[in-house]
Amino acid sequence: MTSMANTVQELDSQRIKSYAKKAGFDLCGITSAEVIPEARNRLLKWLERSLEGEMDYMRKDPERRSDPSLSLPGAMSVIVLALNYFQPDTEVAKPESGLVAKYARGKDYHKVTEKKIEALLRMISEDYSDLDTRDMFKWFVDYGPALERSYAARAGMGYLGKNSMLITPEFGSWVLLSMIITKLELEPDKNRESEQATCGVCQRCITNCPTHAIIAPGVIDSNKCISYLTIEKRGPFVLETQSNLHSRVFGCDICQDVCPHNYDSIRTAHEEFTDSSGVGEFVDLKTIVRMESRKEFLDWCAGTPLTRPKLEGIKRNAATILSENSENTL
């Protein structure tokens, strides 16, 4: 009986993976919904040190973030999904231009991912037409309480690098993750972290971070991280930050650009993430500084991740870079 149940679970897992591919996902891994103790402990220690900066939502109910069953009672399995978003940089930043992180150059990945998850769940639900599947799934992109990188690693999709990113064999760290918690009991993938290439003695992400935000392997001090500073931080920068943005007006890819696992990256097949679908690789800083209304701001970047810091935040970033570049040319 157990053998038959295992066979059904395995077939279900294979079918879900085929549906994920059909829905447009580049990678799919499956693992159990059990708590990952080391991931929970890592989160709690990070919060104890106040390394989350002003991201108060990270402090809200950390146990729920660590335990999928608290988001979906009766959860048995976790389906982790990934989209490759890599596109190469084409130019060198000019004094009046600001560089946008690769994931944000096109459309908002939340919306792109949501549509693909909805398509995937429709296909899965058709296989379980005799069940009420409305309460069998709970899904998140990256705005929900979930440790998707840790579950992706346990699902055999890659390992967590020293820059805290999930590094996959197929796409390096250039992946956007999402997660579906389900009451379905599925055959889990083998955790292959011990079999995969690792960071070894490499410290390039640590030594190349201009703000020294990676304070230990896998530990990020958000208060120093350019991505956090340009996206999540509200209000003015402290003095020491003002010369450290390095032309990054939204997000930062430095720790990924220098990673050897990313040297032969595959360009994304998703047009939604490319320059032509959003603001592109560079934005004009003086144009941003001159913006006066929310309408003008949204006309420029609606439907992209750049709405996150709001007009005030993006203007602060632009003005800081312009000032930094002006001082460097004196």
Catalytic residues, by residue number, are 142
49-75 CB burial, b ≥16 within 10 A, e <16: eebbbeeeebeeebeebbbbeebbeeb
55, 240 contact by CB (below 8 A)? no
The full 3-state SS of 81-105, as one line of letters, equals EEEECCCCCCCCCCCCEEEECHHHC
Pairing of strands 77-84, 27-32: antiparallel
Task: Report yes or no: 103 and 308 within 8 Å, Cβ to Cβ.
Answer: no
Q: How far apart are the first and last CA of the chain?
A: 77
Sorted by sequence, the CB contacts under 8 Å of residue 176 that are 6+ apart come out as 82, 83, 85, 103, 109, 113, 141, 142
- Measure the CA–CA gap between 237 and 137, rounded to whole angstroms: 41
